[in-house]
Chain A
Amino acid sequence: EVQLVESGGGLVQPGGSLRLSCAASGFSVSSYYMSWVRQAPGKGLEWVSVIYNSGRAFYADSVKGRFTISRDNSNNTLYLQMNSLRAEDTAVYYCARVGYSYGFNSWGQGTLVTVSS
């Protein structure tokens, strides 16, 4: 069974950093495109980043230069390093597996990041 479990969320001050983790089971993160999607309180879904199985990474303009996606194949875990955090980064962050037709076919339960002083 495919399972994604996020962790690492919490309260951080503006300008601070946080690293999110997404532990995968039932498949290898190295074999799929893996993505992060976020949802601000009361708002819609926003795509954040993707890492291809080649290791190539892409980012939404809103986080480019501040966030870094990576993975650890040996631990089968996806990461999102978030630096220079802003209040507008406050959201539930979901990791998602990308299927062969560019749809997100598995989702974690999400982890809440709150950026506030």
Chain B
Amino acid sequence: QTVVTQEPSFSVSPGGTVTLTCGLSSGSVSKDHYPSWYQQTPGQAPRTLIYSANTRSSGVPDRFSGSILGNKAALTITGAQAEDESDYYCVLYMSGGIWVFGGGTKLTVL
């Protein structure tokens, strides 16, 4: 069974930089997994931030960036703002018509 791993929680100071990661329980994440990232606040539908590892979705501020770092996908927020306090999810396309979400990271900005 494929497990996608994310940090359960992270904290960043306003104006600071934070990198959230998305890994695999076995193996490495690559561009072939088409990693994508989503932001979700309580009671709201997810918002698409990044797709295909590093492409920002329309309207997403450029302080959000995606990359592959070593064997993981990464979401970096540069100059974090109070409104970035949310849950962040990554999802990997595993081929064969299957997607797997990570457990999510709760980001606190304080």
Contacts and interface: CB of A to CB of B under 8 A. Distances in A.
Interface of A: 35, 37, 44-47, 50, 52, 56-58, 60-61, 94, 99, 101-110
Interface of B: 1, 34, 36, 38, 40, 45-48, 50-52, 55, 57, 87, 89, 91, 93, 96-104
Nearest to A45: B101
A108 B104 CA distance: 20
B34 A56 contact: no
The 6 tightest CB contacts between A and B, nearest first, are A103-B51, A58-B97, A103-B36, A101-B52, A102-B34, A102-B93
Contacts of A105: 48, 51, 57
B102 A44 contact: yes
Contact of A99 (B51, B100, B104): B51
B51 A107 contact: no
A46 B99 CA distance: 9
A104 B46 contact: yes
Given A94-B45, A101-B51, A105-B51, A47 B36 contact: no
A107 B36 contact: no
A58 B46 CA distance: 22
Contacts of B102: 44
